[in-house]
Amino acid sequence: MTSKTAFLILSCDRYSGLWEKHFECLDHYWPDCPYPKYLLTNYKDSNRPDIKTIQVGEDQSWSANLKKALEVLRSEHDHVLLTFDDLFLVANVNNRDLLNVIESFHSLNGQFLQLIKWHKKPKIINDLLGLIDPGSLYRPNCVYALWNIETLSNLLVDTESAWQFERNGAHRSDQYDGFYVVHEDIFKYRNTVIRGKIVPKDVITFNLQNIPNLKVMTTMDLIRFRSRYWAFRLFLFFVPRKLQVPLAKAKSLLK
């Protein structure tokens, strides 16, 4: 299936200041990427001969932009491996491990494969993969995830942001079987931008000073984020799975 899988970096012109560092990390930690590489933008070009640019024009929404990109890809590909522009690789990607889990995924006729460990222990399917049950929070996402293009396109709603897709798309995904996750991370990365602001530690680590359109998180921003993160982790640990979605909606824990 390698020849029919595309690797797509989700971005927009506003975040173009991140591209050079993202590409640098990609070159360093995954120089032998076996898939054709694409970058989703509005009007700007990647300026890289090895990264094809999919220009979708004026922003409508995150989901609408992605739908346009999928229409371009589906002429040559049936699967897409997605990541975001602000997720920088920090460790080597082992192609043998990657291809092994993907082969297992295809043998199960999978629709979605999360290539980093999930936030809750999944149902074990084999030595490589676990099953993400219907009714689970954040069942679909695009953080180093492999998708059947047709399935992903069907789940997208034009008006939704990436966060809304992860939250609301979970319910829509329940109509599909075949959502899997790895037991061990294939990709290791830093999430350098949170809620539109650069994580202070990463400003120095990745030399992200003076990136246009992006401010740096304040100490208070970090405190708020970490408080919400650990509250969410505790919620997942203590609340039974069947109650997580209704309680999360009621208490707005997913904002």
Report which of residues 227 and 2 the model is more confident about. 227
Q: How confident is the model at residue 243 (pLDDT cuts 50, 70, 90)?
A: low
Q: State residue 215's pLDDT score.
A: 94
Note the pLDDT tens digit of each residue in 199-216: 999 999 999 998 999 999
**Span of 134-138, 210-214, 233-237 with lowest mean pLDDT:** 233-237
Report which of residues 191 and 227 the model is more confident about. 191
- Is the model's pLDDT at 1 over the cut of 50? no
Q: State residue 246's pLDDT score.
A: 60
**Averaged over 145-157, what is the pLDDT?**
97
Distances (CA, A) of 92 to 103, 116, 187, 205, 250: 20, 14, 8, 17, 41
% of the chain beyond a pLDDT of 90? 76
Q: State residue 229's pLDDT score.
A: 59
Distances (CA, A) of 6 to 82, 118, 148, 152, 211: 8, 23, 11, 14, 28
Q: State residue 222's pLDDT score.
A: 81
Q: Return the DSSP state at 143.
A: S
Note the pLDDT tens digit of each residue in 34-45: 999 999 999 999
Q: State residue 241's pLDDT score.
A: 59
CB 202 within 8 A of CB 208: yes
**Averaged over 97-120, what is the pLDDT?**
94
List, in sequence order, every beta strand (DSSP E) within 63-158. 79-84, 87-89, 112-114, 123-124, 129-131, 145-148
d(CA 20, CA 253): 34
Rg of the Cα trace of the chain? 18
Contacts of 168 (CB under 8 A, 6+ apart): 157, 160
CB count within 10 Å of CB 162 equals: 17
The helix (run of H) or strand (run of E) holding residue 41 is: strand 37-41
Note the pLDDT tens digit of each residue in 167-193: 899 899 999 999 999 999 999 999 999
- Is the model's pLDDT at 136 over the cut of 70? yes
- Is the model's pLDDT at 254 over the cut of 50? no
CB count within 10 Å of CB 188 equals: 13
**Averaged over 101-112, what is the pLDDT?**
97
